[in-house]
């Protein structure tokens, strides 16, 4: 976990979640395995239940997913906040994962995805993608999420001496909002089609 990613996730929490301090919420961290750091301390707030989720067992993993595209361990509309950093570039079909995020988010639930726009190949176990703001907006639109903020750290930051600048992270912050019955049905059928 590089420093710039930790800073971006902390900024997300402070801007979008501080109003939820004192309330009971569930925060799901997709790709939570602690390889060299974790977001968990950022969300260590009384009343907040942090759930670390990953494809394989390891440190900071509470739930092991059998598939990144169908999270059978989580009910529809059961999670308040989904965070994910440095995971989407490792997911073959990340757009299906975004559909699953929408499924488990509560109405008006919020998500924050941090993914690199550049940087060297780093396979865990694969490294498939890099993301720009337009791509993240397209992902949100595909999954029926309302983008609140989308940006990329294009410039190097002098304070990052840990190699963070190699990644030029892109960030998507989006909210689950109500869709028409027809659109909900289309998203559901799309997910079913690819998960069977």
The DSSP-derived string for 8-23 is: HHHHHIIIIIGGGTTS
Residue 70 φ then ψ, to 5°: -150, 105
Q: Residue 101 belongs to what domain range?
A: 3-194
Average pLDDT, whole number, for the chain?
96
Other Cβ atoms closer than 10 A to 31: 27
Q: How many domains, the chain?
A: 1
pLDDT value at position 196?
58
Beta bridge partners of 188: none
**pTM of structure:** 0.96
What are the tens digits of pLDDT across the range 18-58? 999 999 999 999 999 998 899 999 999 999 999 999 999 99
Q: Where residue 154 sits, what CATH number does that domain have?
A: 3.40.50.150
Quick one: average pLDDT of 109-113? 99
């Amino acid at each position: 976990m590089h420093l710039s990613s930790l800073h971006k996730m902390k900024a997300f929490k402070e801007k979008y979640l501080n109003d939820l301090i004192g309330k009971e919420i569930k925060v799901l961290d997709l790709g939570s395995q602690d390889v060299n750091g974790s977001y968990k301390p950022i969300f260590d707030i009384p009343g907040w239940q942090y759930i670390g989720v990953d494809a394989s067992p390891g440190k900071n993993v509470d739930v092991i997913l059998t598939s990144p595209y169908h999270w059978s361990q989580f009910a529809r509309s059961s999670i308040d906040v989904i965070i994910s950093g440095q995971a989407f570039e490792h997911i073959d079909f990340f757009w299906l994962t975004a559909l699953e995020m929408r499924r488990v988010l509560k109405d008006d639930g919020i998500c924050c995805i941090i993914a690199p726009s550049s940087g060297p190949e780093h396979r865990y176990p694969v490294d498939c993608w890099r993301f720009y703001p337009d791509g993240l907006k397209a992902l949100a639109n595909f999954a029926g999420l309302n983008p609140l903020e989308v940006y990329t750290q294009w410039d190097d930051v002098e304070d990052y001496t840990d190699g963070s600048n190699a990644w030029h992270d892109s960030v998507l912050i989006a909210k689950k909002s109500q869709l028409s019955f027809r659109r909900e049905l289309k998203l559901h059928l799309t997910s079913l089609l690819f998960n069977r």
